[in-house]
Amino acid sequence: MGDQPMDNGASGDRGAPRTATQGSLEDIAPGLFPNDTVPDELIGYRGPSACQIAGITYRQLDYWARTSLVVPSIRGAAGSGSQRLYSFKDVLVLKIVKRLLDTGISLQNIRVAVDHLRQRGVEDLARITLFSDGTTVYECTSAEEVVDLLQGGQGVFGIAVSGAMRELTGTISDFPGERADGGVTETAPEDELAARRKSRTRRTG
């Protein structure tokens, strides 16, 4: 039972994802976050920032929130003037949804995949690779599962969640975050690569 389908089809016992392989984040994805610290889940990003970071339109963001596909876990829009706040994990899921949509997966199947992703912590998500045959989304948490899936002809394309995280970590450092517990605006810590790029820009500019 290598591949873990994440759809509502007639898959028997294969519908439940296998528990993620244990191990430290550094073992699974070294250098994924600055100082190997998992992003603070109390820091949120407003809708416009989340759109730019994930590469989606505000219309998509609003529709996905209204239909409960991806809702802001830190703060929802509860009234006039209130601002949604999306956590790092929320923005990661937005980015993954966008990639799945771009490959032609239906929103119905994406919704099932998102439900599984929501149940995972950030560290668990770093261990997952998503594959799809264009219809069903499969979850793999080990190299053996990936091999089984590809040999079965079910994996047409894949998304390594840790790779999406690395992209997100590099991008999100340029956007201000807001603490849900105090409302203090702060910028997310820069990763080493982003710091080097800015240093080069200052020297050559």
Over range 53-66, report the average pLDDT: 95
> Is 19 among the domain residues?
no
41 DSSP assignment:
T
pLDDT at 105 over 70: yes
> Is 170 among the domain residues?
yes
Per-residue pLDDT at 78: 61
> Is 96 among the domain residues?
yes
Instruction: In whole angstroms, give the CA distance from residue 176 to residue 193.
Output: 18
Per-residue pLDDT at 47: 93
Per-residue pLDDT at 56: 96
Position of tokens 């080097």? 196
Confidence at 77, pLDDT banded by 50, 70, 90: low
pLDDT at 80 over 70: no
Instruction: For residue 56, list its beta bridge partners.
Output: none
Per-residue pLDDT at 9: 39
Confidence at 129, pLDDT banded by 50, 70, 90: confident
Q: At residue 59, what is the residue type? A: R
Higher per-residue confidence, 81 vs 47: 47
> Is 16 among the domain residues?
no
Per-residue pLDDT at 20: 34
CA distances from 148 to 35, 79, 112, 127, 131 (A): 34, 49, 22, 17, 12
> Is 84 among the domain residues?
yes
Per-residue pLDDT at 142: 83
> Is 4 among the domain residues?
no
> Is 156 among the domain residues?
no
pLDDT at 182 over 70: no
Q: Give the CATH number of the domain where residue 112 resides.
A: 1.10.1660.10
User: Which residues form the domain of 66?
Assistant: 42-119+162-204
Confidence at 82, pLDDT banded by 50, 70, 90: low
> Is 10 among the domain residues?
no
Instruction: Name the CA dihedral angle for 17, 54, 157, 11, rounded to a multiple of 10 degrees.
Output: 30
| Total number of domains in the chain | 1
Higher per-residue confidence, 97 vs 137: 97
Confidence at 34, pLDDT banded by 50, 70, 90: very low
Neighbours of 66 (CB within 10 A): 10
75 DSSP assignment:
B
pTM exceeding the 0.75 threshold for the entire prediction:
no
